[in-house]
Chains A and B, each alone.
Chain A
Amino acid sequence: MSKSLIMVTNITQAMKGKSILLRNGIRADIVRTPNRSEMHSCGYSIYVPYKTDEAEKILNQYGVKIIGRTERVGGDDLS
């Protein structure tokens, strides 16, 4: 499974990131980051099932604060 969750520092970055991606024609959603380690406790991620690498590149260009990528557990649905 590809790492389709782009973890960001907080909800504001998640909102900002989602909005940038939608403007760039990439579907995205905001989800809670899975609690897989102490590093990722209580955070938000941007779920990008398709074009995730391109999305990450765009987010970096816009200065969205990314802390990593991880896998999405569960369905690949977007709201």
Chain B
Amino acid sequence: MIYLDNSATTFPKPLSVVQAMNEATRYFGANPGRGGYALAIRASEEMYKSRRVLAEFFNTQSEENVVFTLNCTQAINMVLKGFLKSGDHVVVSCLEHNAVMRPLKVLESKGISYTVADIVPYNNDETMNNFRKAINIHTKLFVCTHASNVLGYRMPIERLTAMAHQYGIMMLVDAAQSAGVFSIDILDSGIDFLCGAGHKGLYGTMGVGFLITDKSELLETIIEGGTGSNSISFEQPNIMPDKFESGTPNLAGVVALRYGVQFVKSKETERIYNHEFNLINSLYNNLSKNPKIRLYTPPLEYGKIAPVLSFNINGYDSETVAEILSKNNIAVRAGLHCAPLAHKFIETEKTGTVRISPSVFTTQKEIMYLERVISKI
């Protein structure tokens, strides 16, 4: 099978990640941060090592800023619901995932409003202007995907963060699609809340995400419970990362994520991006010659787009194309990709698109096979 749905989750995983899951479960599967016996301390140590590796990878000041979550969606919910108060206003990009839009919809009923700022492809100045125009006196937060999961557009998050801070606004970046493909430097960019998935470009396993923030004091908790610390008190601890890590964590997943990040570091983010961009770019160039194919982005510009490509074939529903590809042993995702806002932007909310997303393991040969199958449809 040729797997080209890596935006949903990368597959296969590096062998080191699979082995780490296995070893964590087999050899040190005690509950971290609870007991004092050797195995529990070992489990805690492994959690801590993962925290350090993530802190270093995203350049945050301290490992305590790294909170492990179930996934990126949970991390985003923690910020939106923990930070915003009635009367607050949020500006989001027109490319946001439902991980952002659905919580915001719920928050609307609690007196929180939002404005959608359109992006202008490859024109960061205009995109910035649109965000600026959307600000009002109640704006407390910008929420922006780093890279669209439908179109791949890379957002100018560093510039947006700088602008947000000028107006006293906080910045949440959804790095689900970009972590591991584009470098992210929290200290340098000043991002207030970085939310990410462990199982996509970082090559970890499903069930692990993260929130990285040095602004924990600004967030109220949305989940409380046992943390293994100060158990006498019914009050949720204020200390990081315990404040946001109630309940038993996914130890094996957290350890596997560390090996995933180390895999990415060994390959180098830029080289991974080069590889995947070249694959997508050659596919784009090939598909653009086919009059039956509709593409939704201008010719791809290096560095300005994540390796994701959406298309449709005239006369075919996107799900039908995905089904035909599946029958030819090619795995792709069709439909709205949980991002109806992005599809509205390109006017495909009724049809969806077929999305191709490679990984570091994808080969040119596989992309050529995909091209051949598409050309026969």
Q: B residues near A, CB below 8 A?
A: 32-33, 35-36, 38, 41, 44-45, 47-48, 51, 62-64, 227-233, 237, 239-242
Contact = CB atoms under 8 A, between A and B. Distances in A.
Contacts, number: 57
Q: Which of B62, B229, B240 has the most CB atoms of chain A within a 10 A radius of its CB? A: B229
Chain A contact patch, size range: 20 to 34
A10 B237 contact: yes
B33 A11 contact: yes
Contact of B33 (A10, A41, A63, A65): A10
Interface in A1-53: 9-16, 19, 30-32, 38, 41-44
A44 B35 CA distance: 9
Given A9-B239, A16-B48, A43-B229, 15 more contacts: A9-B229, A10-B228, A11-B47, A11-B228, A12-B48, A12-B51, A12-B63, A12-B240, A13-B64, A13-B239, A15-B48, A41-B233, A42-B228, A44-B229, A63-B62
Q: Which of A9, A15, A31, A41 has the most CB atoms of chain B within a 10 A radius of its CB? A: A15
Contact of B230 (A14, A16, A41, A63): A41
Given A9-B239, A12-B51, A15-B48, A42 B35 contact: no
Contacts of A12: 33, 48, 51, 63-64, 240-242
8 contacts: A10-B228, A12-B242, A15-B44, A16-B63, A42-B230, A42-B232, A43-B229, A79-B38
B64 A43 contact: no
Nearest to A11: B33
Contact of B41 (A30, A42, A65): A30
Contacts of A16: 48, 63-64
B239 A42 contact: no
